[in-house]
């Protein structure tokens, strides 16, 4: 049985829902078609999210991304559509999709779309570089 592209996004329970932690994925082989010319568009997708109760299952994400290969989409449309579908599937606390499209006609296009769950506030980031600098200067 051959694997086929699919619009179904499977999920699994967040193993640590009590903690905000950053999930980072890079998808370097995204393709869709230009809706004007039918020529292929290529992009690297970068997905960053903080899960709430559910996480995205990777195989289903791969098949979902593959499902766009023969569809015509403007860059702005496809980036926002993917974000909306992912948000609907897992209802994350935060999600950012960065779509970095390769050059077409001398123009690179980057589309960045974000979702924040109502009421969610990011925790302050701890900067440990100050301690590295101090320990490296002692001798």
User: Mind telling me the catalytic residues?
Assistant: 34, 41
Give the DSSP letter of residue 134.
Answer: H
b/e burial code for range 19-56 (CB count within 10 A of at least 16 → b): eeeeeeeebeebebbeeeeeeebebebbbbbbbbebbb
CB-count burial class (<10 Å; 0-12, 13-18, 19+) for 111 = buried
């Amino acid at each position: 049985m051959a694997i086929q592209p699919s619009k179904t996004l499977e999920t699994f329970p967040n193993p640590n829902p009590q903690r905000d932690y950053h999930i980072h994925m890079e998808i370097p082989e995204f393709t869709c078609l230009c809706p004007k010319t039918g020529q292929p568009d290529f992009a690297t997708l970068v997905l960053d999210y903080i899960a709430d109760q559910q996480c995205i299952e990777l195989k289903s994400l791969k098949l979902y991304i593959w499902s766009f290969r023969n569809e015509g989409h403007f860059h702005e449309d496809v980036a926002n559509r993917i974000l909306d579908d992912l948000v609907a599937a897992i209802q994350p606390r935060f999600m950012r999709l960065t779509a970095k499209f390769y050059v077409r006609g001398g123009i690179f296009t980057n589309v960045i779309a974000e979702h924040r769950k109502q009421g969610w506030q990011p925790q302050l980031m701890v900067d440990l570089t100050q301690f590295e600098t101090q320990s490296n200067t002692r001798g």
